Amino acid sequence: MPASFQDPALAGRVEAFLKAARGEDVQVVAMAPLAGGACQDMHRVELQTSQGPVRLVLRSDARRSLPASIGRREEFSVVEAARAAGVPTPAVHHLSEGLVRPGAWAYFMDWVDGEAIGRRVVKAQELSAARKRLPTQLAQALARIHTVTPRAHPNLFLRPLPERPVQGGLAFVRGMLEALQEPHPELEYVFQWLAANTPHDAGVCLIHGDFRTGNFLVTQEGLAAVLDWEFARWGTPAEDIGWLCVRDWRFGQNSLPAGGLATREAFLEAYARASGTEVSRRALHWWEVMGNVRWAAGSIHQGERYLSGEESDLEYMAIARRAPEMAWEALRLLERKG
């Protein structure tokens, strides 16, 4: 074991664990933390095995979580269900408890190469051919995610099944608004519009919950893998498509609302072709407005996490200062009336 590991004790535990789990002699030759999200710790793990070099990601529960996020134990089952449904997402292995920290669940996943940085995905010259394929590929991936149903997977989540995703979404955002530390009439105004204009609820299915540019890997061939399932839940298809259309995920490509990659109409058509299900323009509009309010309130809460001392990353303060962008967009969408 090289002495240069940032956390030699963890690398030692990982090596011993993988020897037992894989039933072969493996050596951890490199291990380094990866930039993760708010709810998980991630490490890149380089192995030498009898079959040659193997690169994995170790994904563990973080010390803290967000209210809407699931733990790694649930996430492991969600990814397995998604892969079984044909979603391109890295294979997961060896779920266990306590490997990284006592009480924390963790698993390994295959390393997949690709670009995830949003502004590069929507603008990089070398990905221009990929961008032509992405809307169809993303619609297909979403359609496959949405084939996973509560009936076929009754125990996928620990939380109870929402009878109406629209009402569940409203209740969640209501809770976010109630927890704000100062009055935000602009968000309350849009919330009242949402409550008065609810769309017809479609069937309940698995949704990714954070399906957006920045959360999938892209190569010159197009979509390589869907990532980051920590906000997966039971929901409705329009919820995922509405979130993809939230302005912040366009990275400046405002004429292409679906993730900076396609018009709403083109994406809805691609989704209908892939799924055989029509998502109405009205439902998409409602969930897009909802997504902007949710992200505006979420941004403010990120700043509160810094102010409370829970987080020390300056980026949380910067995100909170951007909340007016999402609030503006929500109000703009009301003017646009879909």
Partner 1 sequence: MQERPEPRAVLEALSRFLLEELQPEVTDKRLAFRVLIAAHLAATVAAELQVRGTHAEAELLRLSALLPDVPVSSDVRVALRDLNAALVERLVQGNPPEDDVALRAHLRLTLADALSVFSPRFDTALDIEG
Instruction: Report the interface residues with partner 1, using CB under 8 A.
Output: 35, 182-186, 188-189, 192, 254-255, 257, 313-315, 317-318, 321-322, 324-325, 327-328, 331-332, 334-336
CB of 264 to partner 1, least distance (A): 9
Q: 102 or 185: whose CB is closer to partner 1?
A: 185
Between 223 and 323, name the residue whose CB sits nearer to partner 1: 323
Coil/strand/helix, residue 158: coil
Q: How far is CA 16 from CA 44, 50, 53, 146, in A?
A: 16, 15, 17, 38
Q: Considering the complex, what minimum distance in angstroms separates the CB of residue 6 from partner 1?
A: 14
CA distance 33 to 44: 6
Nearer to partner 1, 212 or 233 (CB): 212
**Residue placing its CB nearer to partner 1 in the complex, 113 or 178:** 178
Helix (H) or strand (E) holding 49: strand 40-49
**Which residue blocks in the chain are alpha helix, DSSP H?**
8-22, 72-84, 118-123, 128-145, 165-178, 185-196, 237-244, 264-275, 281-307, 315-321, 323-336
CB of 118 to partner 1, least distance (A): 14
> How many whole angstroms separate alpha carbon 9 and alpha carbon 70?
27
Sequence length of the chain is: 338
**By C-beta, is 46 or 325 nearer to partner 1?**
325
How far apart are CB 36 and partner 1 at their closest, in Å?
12
**Smallest distance, partner 1 to C-beta of residue 63, A:** 20
What residues have CB less than 8 Å from 26, skipping those under 6 apart?
15, 18, 19, 47, 48, 49, 54
Pairwise CA distance, residues 62 & 10, whole Å: 15
Nearer to partner 1, 24 or 313 (CB): 313
Which long-range CB contacts under 8 A does 12-16 form with residues at least 24 apart? Answer: 13/99, 14/45, 14/58, 14/99
CB of 285 to partner 1, least distance (A): 13
Looking at the Cβ atoms of 21 and 38, the one nearer to partner 1 is 38
CA neighbor of 208 nearest in space, from 145, 148, 265? 145
Q: How far is the CB of 145 from partner 1 (least distance, A)?
A: 26
DSSP assignment letter at 262: B
